[in-house]
């Protein structure tokens, strides 16, 4: 299934942040997906990207000045919003979010946002201190209460040299969020509930150290978004990751395997459970209350490991609350299909999705864990289906469709 925005009209508002250059790529992705894009550029936004670049990519005039829309062919702020299916603000600056949260309207962008009755999606982008400032926290909360959808921000290195939350979501993440909001009318998973786990777990050794793994959460988060895109009511239970919560998905943040299990069991019953998280198999038997110190003797501490609870096996166990379809991911580095078949039998789930995490991606270094591509094999009682390598968004979209087909063919009667 490809993301289609055929006949969808997006009004993109580009505000004055350093991430404005990414809006050019966003326009390219939106038009490639079949959408029509019209752009409003703030005065500050024009310091970062030129109207010429934006209009070349959108194929339309760029709107900037509220008092200068004189031409018959030009549209005022009301018409601009009336003509759109969705308003997207990317980047959404601290300034523009503050205006939105307080109903201020002193330029074309803010006036259009106040005058609209269409859904609005914002992709915040700012310095980590601006993002964490009490004013921005208040504004984000108020925008959420007002029904404004948000994608990102992500955690990472910033143009200003700092590190933390505030990086704008990547254009493909914004595209996925837009698709989730404007998706096709026929939603094959409407009425279904789904639980997805994603990311790594962290098992504390002492207050500052932990055991973890390289899982980025990209695949699990994309699957949660793809299921929501097909109409499912999705709860994502995520370990600590540096990517944004998907839109239209309720996300529960957890740290350890035990927290993850508690969160999952409290969400039951659901129709579909997909365990994508790379749950640590072990944890230390007792977490030290204080930081373990390096002493002068040169002796190293011995960590005794014990097994963590098995979330996939717990969810798969026969019980009145067992989800109708339980899917487990298997990250393997060798004998993938044999290991996947053994895992299917041992855990008693319905499908195992095996992915070879030893393979480097095309960039050559990051591999499947943390990388953007994946090649999966679906192992079930009816055999093995091997898919070609795709980006993780596409794997997610195709897997969600495969699940929808499963319910259409074998699903319970409503």
Ligand X SMILES: Cc1cc2nc3c(=O)[nH]c(=O)nc-3n(C[C@H](O)[C@H](O)[C@H](O)COP(=O)(O)O)c2cc1C
By CB atoms closer than 10 A (0-12, 13-18, 19+), residue 161 is exposed
What would the two tokens of residue 386 be? 């091997």
What is the dihedral sign for C-alpha 385, 386, 388, 391?
positive
Residue 56 CA from chain centroid, whole number: 29
DSSP string, 348-370: T-SEEEEEETTS--TTSSS-TTT
Interface with ligand X, residue 49, by CB under 6 A = no
Which range touches ligand X (CB under 6 A), out of 12-20, 253-261, 297-305, 372-380?
12-20
Interface with ligand X, residue 126, by CB under 6 A = yes
Interface with ligand X, residue 96, by CB under 6 A = yes
Interface with ligand X, residue 199, by CB under 6 A = no
By CB atoms closer than 10 A (0-12, 13-18, 19+), residue 266 is exposed
Cβ 306 vs Cβ 282: under 8 Å = yes
Interface with ligand X, residue 66, by CB under 6 A = no
Q: Please, which residue, 113 or 327, has the CB nearer to ligand X? A: 113
What would the two tokens of residue 10 be? 């997006």
**Which residues are bridge partners to 14 per DSSP?**
41
Cβ 199 vs Cβ 215: under 8 Å = yes
From residue 127 to residue 146, the character string flagging contacts with ligand X as x (rule: CB under 6 A) and all else as - is ---x----------------
Q: How far is the CB of 93 from ligand X (least distance, A)?
A: 3
Among 1, 44, 204, 288, binds ligand X (CB under 6 A): 44
**Which residues are bridge partners to 325 per DSSP?**
272
**Which residues are bridge partners to 256 per DSSP?**
none
Q: Please, which residue, 96 or 230, has the CB nearer to ligand X? A: 96
Strands 383-386 and 376-380: antiparallel
Interface with ligand X, residue 89, by CB under 6 A = no
Q: Please give the size of the binding site for ligand X, defined by CB under 6 A.
A: 15
What is the dihedral sign for C-alpha 175, 179, 180, 181?
positive
Which range touches ligand X (CB under 6 A), out of 77-85, 87-95, 187-195, 324-332?
87-95
Interface with ligand X, residue 88, by CB under 6 A = no
Q: How far is the CB of 77 from ligand X (least distance, A)?
A: 15
Among 35, 45, 239, 328, binds ligand X (CB under 6 A): 45
Q: Please, which residue, 44 or 66, has the CB nearer to ligand X? A: 44
Active site residue 105: no
Which range touches ligand X (CB under 6 A), out of 40-48, 67-75, 311-319, 374-382?
40-48
Interface with ligand X, residue 153, by CB under 6 A = no
Catalytic center residues? 160
Q: Kindly list the residues in this chain that would bind ligand X in the complex (CB under 6 A).
A: 15-19, 42, 44-45, 93-96, 125-126, 130
């Amino acid at each position: 299934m490809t993301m289609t925005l055929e006949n969808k009209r997006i009004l993109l508002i580009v505000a004055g942040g350093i991430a404005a250059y990414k809006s050019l790529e966003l326009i390219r992705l939106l038009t490639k997906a079949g959408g029509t894009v019209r752009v409003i550029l703030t005065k500050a936004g024009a310091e970062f990207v030129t109207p010429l670049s934006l209009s070349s990519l959108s194929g339309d005039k760029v709107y900037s000045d509220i008092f200068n829309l004189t031409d018959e062919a030009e549209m005022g702020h009301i018409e601009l919003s009336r003509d759109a299916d969705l308003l997207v603000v990317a980047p959404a600056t601290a300034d523009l979010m503050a205006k939105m949260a307080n109903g201020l309207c002193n330029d074309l962008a803010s006036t259009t946002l106040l005058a609209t009755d269409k859904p609005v999606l914002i992709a915040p982008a700012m310095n980590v201190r601006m993002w964490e400032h009490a004013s921005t926290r208040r504004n984000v909360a108020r925008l959420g209460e007002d029904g404004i959808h948000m994608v990102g921000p992500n955690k990472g290195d910033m143009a200003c040299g700092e590190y933390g939350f505030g990086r704008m979501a990547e254009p493909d993440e914004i595209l996925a969020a837009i698709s989730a909001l404007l998706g096709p009318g026929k939603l094959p998973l409407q009425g279904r509930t789904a639980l997805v786990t994603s990311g790594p777990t962290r098992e504390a050794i002492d207050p500052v150290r932990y055991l973890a793994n390289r899982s980025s959460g990209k695949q699990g988060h994309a699957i949660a978004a793809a299921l929501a895109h097909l109409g499912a009511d999705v709860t994502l239970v995520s370990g600590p990751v540096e990517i944004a919560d998907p839109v239209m998905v309720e996300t529960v943040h957890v740290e350890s395997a035990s927290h993850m299990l508690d969160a999952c069991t409290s969400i039951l019953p659901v129709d579909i459970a997909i365990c994508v998280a790379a749950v640590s198999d072990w944890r230390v038997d007792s977490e030290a209350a204080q930081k373990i110190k390096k002493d002068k003797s040169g002796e190293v501490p011995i960590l005794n490991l014990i097994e963590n609870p098995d979330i996939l096996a717990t969810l798969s166990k026969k019980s009145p609350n067992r989800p109708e379809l339980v899917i487990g991911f298997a990250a393997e580095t060798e004998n993938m299909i044999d290991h996947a078949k053994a895992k299917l039998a041992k855990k008693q789930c319905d499908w195992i999705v095996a992915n070879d995490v030893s393979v480097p991606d095309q960039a050559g270094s990051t591999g499947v864990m943390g990388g953007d591509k994946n090649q999966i094999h679906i192992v079930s009682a009816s055999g093995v289906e091997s898919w070609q390598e795709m980006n993780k968004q596409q794997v997610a979209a195709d897997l969600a469709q495969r699940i929808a087909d499963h319910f259409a063919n074998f699903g319970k009667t409503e």
